[in-house]
Structure 1
Amino acid sequence: MNEPGFSIRVRGQVQGVGFRPFVWSLARARGLRGLVLNDPEGVLVLVAGPLEDFARALRDQAPPLARVDAVEVAPHVFKTAPEGFVIAESRGQGAETRVTPDAATCPACREEVFAPGRRQGYAFTNCTHCGPRFTILTGLPYDRAKTTMAPFALCPDCAAEYADPADRRFHAQPVACPACGPRLWYEGEAAAGRPLAQAAGVLRAGGVVAVKGLGGFHLACDAGNPAAVALLRGRKRRPAKPFALMGTLPMLEVLAHLTDADRTLLADPAAPVVLVAGRAPLPEGVAPGMRQLGVMLPYTPLHHLLLAEFDGVLVMTSGNLSGEPQVIGNEEAREKLSAFADGFLMHDRQIARRLDDGVERADPPMVIRRARGRVPGTLPLPPGFEAAPQVLAFGGQMKAAICLTKNGQAMLSHHLGDLDDALTAEEYARTLHDCAALFDHRPTVAACDLHPGFRATQAAEASGLPVTRVQHHHAHLAACLGENLWPLDGGKVAGIILDGLGLGPDGTVWGGEVLLGNYRGVERRAMLTPAPLPGGDRAQAEPWRNALMRLDQAGHADWADALFPDAPRDQIRRMAAAGLNAPLSSSAGRLFDAVAAMLGLCPMRQSYEGEAAMRLEALAAEAPDDGSSYDLPLIGQELDPAPIWPQIQADLRRGVPVARIAWRFHAGLAHGFARVARRLVEGGEAAAIALSGGCFQNGLLLTLTAGALKDLPVLTHRTTPANDGGLALGQALVAASRHIDAAEAG
């Protein structure tokens, strides 16, 4: 007998988050009949009975990890009148719905791990509100058979939980217990005992332990032991780049000045590394030259148990040789990490894909490295992009990431690394195939950078797709606009784009620009006065080269000679004069390097990308805001830093603290660019101002620039990286806008 009812389609991040049992409970409480199931488009609900507020409750009362994009209600006719309300089997193949990122251990599971019961001490405890997702997923729809938990057959107790809609483990695909799930063991020389006790003993003795986590291995050591930190640095060949720390909240409160915003971000299910203000003394080797620490809470039961056993803060850094991809497999770990680690804390659940820890800041809010816990969460495309094709954007060379657009959403991938490294390039190629297969992505357009030497550009050109090449800084601007849902026809904005290097359409190297435009196109309205980059890439690694060029350019060659007496100055000057491997550049990143070198901050060589600029920011943050700044005048279309150098030299002669000098440089740069952008808005040419590019990872620069524009509409990055990790999003939007325009014109 036919019976009228309703079909309710729920789209978004609604699989693997307990959404079906939530619907089941909601329907039963209202006396509704029907069913709920997963399919490639999300969750489908067929219901008989009066809806009243049921559809609204699906959005408003959704489970913690759910992200509901749409609830679509349509009439439905039941051929057979349903009895009760049931959860039906998943249907179909394909990927039209979102995949849930990995989520940190929830309070209920954390309590269970430390309380008497069958999961006490079990390192793989999870439920529908927490645990691995993307790192174990092998296909969609999200069911246990399509995860790396498939080899672990459920025991009767776990099977009963899995089958009970009233249980928080209903259809929690990674559900397990000691009787049926993954197991933990320790490899290496250690006293006999439990694996966690063995690992903690090695850590207390000053050793290094490789720990298998969610998205790969970490290398752990005692953060309070200078010898252990130095040992890890020496083995990993990482002389100065800051290490991340893991501790419980009470432990971290001792080490850092945590704000409420810091605590909220630390406790987020994404569990990122959060940059916070340090306060307690730690070995200098933890974060050389930095005032901020990168800290995170334990985000798996294994981490909780290890910290409890060790009873202290641990360095927890990626398990890899610096610059290479993180290790994920057991055999791979034994092969590649044996030279670094004194032992291994292993388990037998496979990791489906590498995911580094994310890095974020709470104030000002920003994502520096988009990774585990955030990916593969999607971003809605702005208004006007409804007709956007499926685009595959290939990103850039540094901080590589790709972006896929489909069904009004953009999926910006996790951080993959720098494609100069051959192993990272292999991982990048795997990710292209992995994402295409997992998300059933069939792009019709490719987007990439202008630079022909980028491996990402070469991959786009080899894809067989029509390629849209997008200028580097235009992509940065578009990424910021897209994150802020700036409409396709929302008008032009003034973009302050400050970063390291990007090929300009004129063949020079850009990096310090004020652009006027939108997704469709941009024009450069102002730039830093260009200076040579002698040695090309060498100028990125050796800050003194940039200082030499800037000082020579401004007529202060004698000061450069005094600052860098042992450097091959004459050779570099000849190279620059002849234009031999010395391209002109307006790079703001290299300007930071120049100032850092003048102040004696790693002048001869950086041990990692951005070290000089990060140390300069840390130094500036020691000076209170007194409103002072250096002058960065606009001459024609060029913001000329030449007047800054005699101001710095005079301050040094007067004995002004170098922290104050670093502050005044930051303030001068912020105010100089802000004045130009302000004129474009006040003159009616721009409707808002967007701040993008890797230099805006610098919290002080971002705060000062936004402060100088506080009475104007300012767009910033909050959920996507301002650095090259967000480049692919901008490329995808520019390519999509051109496709939409071409389709409308044709």
Structure 2
Amino acid sequence: MRTGRGDGQARAAGQTRVGGRVRVDVRAEGLVQGVGFRPFVYGLAVRLGLAGCVGNDADGVFVEAEGAPERIEEFLVALERDAPPLARIDRISVMPRTPAEAEAGGQPAEIAAGAGGGVAGAFAIVDSDASGRPRALVSPDGATCADCLRELADPGDRRFGYAFVNCTNCGPRFTIVRGVPYDRPLTTMAGFAMCAACTAEYHDPADRRFHAQPVCCPDCGPRLRLLDPRGAELPGDPVGRCAGLLRAGRVVAVKGLGGYHLAALASDEDAVAALRRRKHREDKPFAVMAADLEQAGLLCEVDATGAALLTDRARPIVLLPRRAGAPVAVSAAPGDRRLGVMLPYTPLHHLLLAAVTGPIVLTSGNVSDEPIVHRDSDAPARLGGIADAFLTHDRPIHVRTDDSVVRPFRGRGSVLRRSRGYVPDPVELRRPAPRPILACGAELKNTFCLAEGDRAFVSHHIGDLENYETLRSFTEGVEHFSALFGIRPRVVAHDLHPEYLSTKYAVELADTLAETELVGVQHHHAHIASCLADNGEPGPVLGVAFDGLGLGADGTLWGGEFLLADLTSFERAGHLAPVPMPGGTAAIRQPWRMAAAYLQAAYGGQAPEGLAVAVRNRARWADVLALARAGVNSPLTSSAGRLFDAVSALLGPRDAITYEGQAAIELEQRADPAERGRYHASVSPAGHDRHHASASPGTPAAPSGAVPGGPLVVAGADLVRAAAEDLLAGVDPAVIAARFHNGVADLVVRCCVALRDATGVTTAALSGGVFQNLLLLQRAADGLSAAGFRVLTHSRVPANDGGISLGQAAVAAARDHARG
């Protein structure tokens, strides 16, 4: 038996031979359904003159092959080497069998396999076997391939201009799948009976649509329509008329793969401003879709890494430096030096962009803070007040899925939102889960994760669990993934915060499931564990977890943490000095409150006169400081995110935010990247007991070797004081912002060096939403590398709370594994 990937050839010697023939049973696991793998196997076997069969089942793809030993050998090698472009083989196993002639007394006989059988001397694709527990992977949705694009543009082709052209190498997958095995009856294409021409292609081994489940054409497939806001169909070509509306300054809702988008002409300031006003999205940037790389290059600076990300089959939104004078409305991304750009990933997008002849804003179809609309029945009610028309179709979307967002970092992509195009590809766990796990994630940017064995299935982006619609999307997603991958959790992992809706769901679910263990995972430990899992590392590491906030093991609000951590446990080895959050969550929405708290800490309540932030808020300043001093509704926090908020408010003029993280994002955009000066923050041991992770009795001890004298405490107020004094001295705010960033990067390096000296750990892991700040990430990573550290950062899952569920699953699996 051979198991593994790329581990050499399986020799036919020693196998039972009959008439110079050998037979093998082969199992392929990984991404092998819905990607043209069975047609590929069929074509390969026929070319080599093999007998047997291939089919889908709940585990993946099974193959029975019989022929000359050298042909079988060639078949096994080519099976991995030449697999289709969308396929990913995780495991190939080969089992020698007695040739069919021997079993039948030397006469030709059927080769039994699943629901059908191939006859010796022939090779066949047999019916799928739907029995058994599902373990087969489901392909993410794939961008339209070059072959389909050629057909789309060919006036002589029967699919010319057809908005749903696809084949085995591209098209909808995850968003249309209702179950496995991946066959048409278990997709949302089940309601479209194939016409004679499509049926012929589907059954023709020489056609690239051989066994392509979403195959369709204008005669038998989905139909495109353009509707007015009342639902009446507008006459004429839907794409051409929609393009005319966009050029005329209208807003159109466009149905995509994972839900509706809202579109407007990107260069039309009035149209984009109207979209922003109607959507109630005051400042958060919109994404822009360009027709091709050349058009994207007119909008942004596109290097080789950016080009590779833009043209990847996932077709994510890619954050790139915006070109000066780019033909994009100011309202598309106000105050941001970057632009989120993507290329068309469906035939409909290609047709629309060609008809418009210019980039379009394409943002999620929802009102701010609500999940994206994906059901046709919901679209008129939820988008009717925003869109002037609806470009829609009758192929149902089974799973709501937002666009993914990535950015280039050190020559590769770093995911900021993992969704369409990447999900549901699993992440491999370094320490496999002995029991099935459901990790419920965090409250903001929620994802969940189902894990079993070495596979962790991180969900698509769910969003902030702050309303019923998003919570319903979460619960429906858990049920769908559980059924799709046959995972029934016996361990339910959750955040320590008792008021998170994800935590409440975890507790309620564990109460209803027999023999289910509930495992609490501290928020920042989950961040570092997520980074470890993302990089296939077990630890220990010096983990730097900087974010907005999360409930600490001591019951306070953490967020500027240095952890000595591995996958099972952690020790709090350092942190930012806590300051009050005057007004609690009000201090998140109104960053000037954090400026007041930090100035009080920096100056002992006697902040210097003339600071604009205090002048702008003089009516409430004294009351807020009184709240902070009295500790009334002013919880202490070590949050790095709140420190960034304080400096952003200090530089002004924004005192309130309209979306999460806005103040810190604007501070990064303001910083002068050429400035190398930095502010200094003092670091000293706390001298008090260390805080350990203790989510449940029996949790393994933290990694040994922490700093003598207690965790390091970093005076973030020193940075605020330095910034305030530079501001009063008339220093350019862009320089102040840069010196602050450089100061934070410096304190990260200094603390990690001190902790390395105390522990001997030479690997650092950077995680948490604050490390979405590219300037900080680059300066911190460069400084750590220069100091001799091996630096781990995120690439496959977000550093923000979208990666928390993977970290929870990795911790739960490692603890389960450690208990044996």
Relative to the length of structure 1, the TM-score reads: 0.96
Match of 1:72 in 2: 93
Aligned length in residues: 735
Whether 2:642 is the aligned partner of 1:590: answer yes
Match of 1:640 in 2: 715
Deviation of residue 363 (structure 1)? Answer: 2.4
Deviation of residue 700 (structure 1)? Answer: 1.2
Whether 2:126 is the aligned partner of 1:88: answer yes
Task: Give the match's secondary structure for 2:90.
Answer: strand
| Alignment of structure 1 residues 378-457 onto 2, 5 Å | 378-382=426-430, 385-386=431-432, 388-457=434-503
1:638-670 Cα offsets, whole Å, 9 max, x none, are: 111222234223433444322221111111101
Distance in 1 separating the partners of 2:580 and 2:145: 53
Match of 2:48 in 1: 30
Task: Assess, with a 3 A threshold, how the Cα gap between structure 1 residues 560 and 158 changes in structure 2: closer, same or farther.
Answer: farther
Distance in 2 separating the partners of 1:678 and 1:388: 36
Relative to the length of structure 2, the TM-score reads: 0.88
User: Does the Cα contact within 8 Å between 1:670 and 1:705 map onto a contact in 2?
Assistant: yes
Distance in 1 separating the partners of 2:271 and 2:455: 45
Distance in 2 separating the partners of 1:469 and 1:19: 41
Match of 1:515 in 2: 563
User: Does the Cα contact within 8 Å between 1:550 and 1:594 map onto a contact in 2?
Assistant: yes
Deviation of residue 466 (structure 1)? Answer: 1.6
Deviation of residue 564 (structure 1)? Answer: 2.6
Distance in 2 separating the partners of 1:294 and 1:524: 36
Whether 2:789 is the aligned partner of 1:712: answer yes
Match of 2:66 in 1: 48
Match of 2:698 in 1: none
Match of 1:284 in 2: 330
RMSD: 1.7
| Alignment of structure 1 residues 286-685 onto 2, 5 Å | 286-364=332-410, 365-382=413-430, 385-386=431-432, 388-464=434-510, 465-487=516-538, 491-555=539-603, 556-559=606-609, 562-567=612-617, 568-602=620-654, 604-620=655-671, 622-624=672-674, 626-636=675-685, 637-685=712-760
Identify which range, 505-514 or 43-52, moves more after superposition. 43-52
Distance in 2 separating the partners of 1:645 and 1:725: 29
Task: Give the match's secondary structure for 1:373.
Answer: coil
Task: Give the match's secondary structure for 1:564.
Answer: helix
Task: Assess, with a 3 A threshold, how the Cα gap between structure 1 residues 57 and 683 changes in structure 2: closer, same or farther.
Answer: farther
Deviation of residue 566 (structure 1)? Answer: 4.2
User: Does the Cα contact within 8 Å between 2:228 and 2:234 map onto a contact in 1?
Assistant: no
What letter corresponds to residue 106 of structure 1 in structure 2?
A: C
Task: Assess, with a 3 A threshold, how the Cα gap between structure 1 residues 18 and 578 changes in structure 2: closer, same or farther.
Answer: same
Task: Assess, with a 3 A threshold, how the Cα gap between structure 1 residues 136 and 344 changes in structure 2: closer, same or farther.
Answer: same
What letter corresponds to residue 92 of structure 1 in structure 2?
A: A
Distance in 2 separating the partners of 1:717 and 1:528: 23
Whether 2:268 is the aligned partner of 1:229: answer no
Deviation of residue 682 (structure 1)? Answer: 4.5
What letter corresponds to residue 197 of structure 2 in structure 1?
A: D
Distance in 1 separating the partners of 2:616 and 2:678: 31
Distance in 1 separating the partners of 2:808 and 2:721: 40
Distance in 2 separating the partners of 1:387 and 1:357: 29
Candidates 255, 273, 285, aligned match of 2:299 = 255
| Alignment of structure 1 residues 159-178 onto 2, 5 Å | 159-178=199-218
Whether 2:153 is the aligned partner of 1:114: answer yes
**Identity fraction in percent:** 47
Whether 2:225 is the aligned partner of 1:148: answer no
What letter corresponds to residue 268 of structure 1 in structure 2?
A: D
Distance in 1 separating the partners of 2:408 and 2:540: 29
Identify which range, 97-106 or 685-694, moves more after superposition. 685-694
| Alignment of structure 1 residues 685-700 onto 2, 5 Å | 685-700=760-775
Whether 2:284 is the aligned partner of 1:238: answer no
User: Does the Cα contact within 8 Å between 1:689 and 1:713 map onto a contact in 2?
Assistant: yes
Deviation of residue 230 (structure 1)? Answer: 0.8
Deviation of residue 561 (structure 1)? Answer: 6.2
Task: Assess, with a 3 A threshold, how the Cα gap between structure 1 residues 334 and 373 changes in structure 2: closer, same or farther.
Answer: same
Deviation of residue 687 (structure 1)? Answer: 4.1
Task: Assess, with a 3 A threshold, how the Cα gap between structure 1 residues 560 and 720 changes in structure 2: closer, same or farther.
Answer: farther
1:565-594 Cα offsets, whole Å, 9 max, x none, are: 242112212221221111100101111111
Deviation of residue 40 (structure 1)? Answer: 0.7
Whether 2:310 is the aligned partner of 1:269: answer no
Deviation of residue 389 (structure 1)? Answer: 1.4
Distance in 1 separating the partners of 2:767 and 2:553: 19
Whether 2:100 is the aligned partner of 1:57: answer no
Identify which range, 55-64 or 271-280, moves more after superposition. 55-64
User: Does the Cα contact within 8 Å between 2:580 and 2:634 map onto a contact in 1?
Assistant: yes
Distance in 2 separating the partners of 1:601 and 1:468: 44
Match of 1:732 in 2: 809
Candidates 241, 256, 260, aligned match of 1:198 = 241
User: Does the Cα contact within 8 Å between 1:601 and 1:616 map onto a contact in 2?
Assistant: no
User: Does the Cα contact within 8 Å between 2:142 and 2:172 map onto a contact in 1?
Assistant: yes
User: Does the Cα contact within 8 Å between 1:601 and 1:615 map onto a contact in 2?
Assistant: no
Deviation of residue 683 (structure 1)? Answer: 4.4
User: Does the Cα contact within 8 Å between 1:379 and 1:410 map onto a contact in 2?
Assistant: yes
Deviation of residue 342 (structure 1)? Answer: 0.4
Identify which range, 50-59 or 633-642, moves more after superposition. 50-59
What letter corresponds to residue 462 of structure 1 in structure 2?
A: E
User: Does the Cα contact within 8 Å between 1:366 and 1:697 map onto a contact in 2?
Assistant: no
Deviation of residue 425 (structure 1)? Answer: 1.1
Deviation of residue 75 (structure 1)? Answer: 1.4
User: Does the Cα contact within 8 Å between 2:573 and 2:755 map onto a contact in 1?
Assistant: no
Whether 2:140 is the aligned partner of 1:101: answer yes
Task: Give the match's secondary structure for 1:404.
Answer: strand
Deviation of residue 369 (structure 1)? Answer: 0.5
Task: Assess, with a 3 A threshold, how the Cα gap between structure 1 residues 271 and 400 changes in structure 2: closer, same or farther.
Answer: same
What letter corresponds to residue 340 of structure 2 in structure 1?
A: G
Distance in 1 separating the partners of 2:63 and 2:753: 51
Match of 1:10 in 2: 28
Q: Indicate the structure (1 or 2) with the bigger Cα radius of gyration.
A: 2
User: Does the Cα contact within 8 Å between 1:388 and 1:408 map onto a contact in 2?
Assistant: no
Distance in 2 separating the partners of 1:198 and 1:713: 55
Distance in 1 separating the partners of 2:376 and 2:240: 20
Task: Give the match's secondary structure for 1:207.
Answer: coil
Distance in 1 separating the partners of 2:633 and 2:471: 25
Unmatched 5+ stretches in structure 1? none
Distance in 1 separating the partners of 2:277 and 2:351: 28
User: Does the Cα contact within 8 Å between 1:113 and 1:119 map onto a contact in 2?
Assistant: yes
Deviation of residue 4 (structure 1)? Answer: 4.6
Deviation of residue 457 (structure 1)? Answer: 0.4
Task: Assess, with a 3 A threshold, how the Cα gap between structure 1 residues 654 and 141 changes in structure 2: closer, same or farther.
Answer: same
Candidates 177, 182, 185, aligned match of 2:225 = 185
1:51-110 Cα offsets, whole Å, 9 max, x none, are: 224323222221111111111111123343622222111113342011100001111111
Task: Give the match's secondary structure for 2:263.
Answer: strand
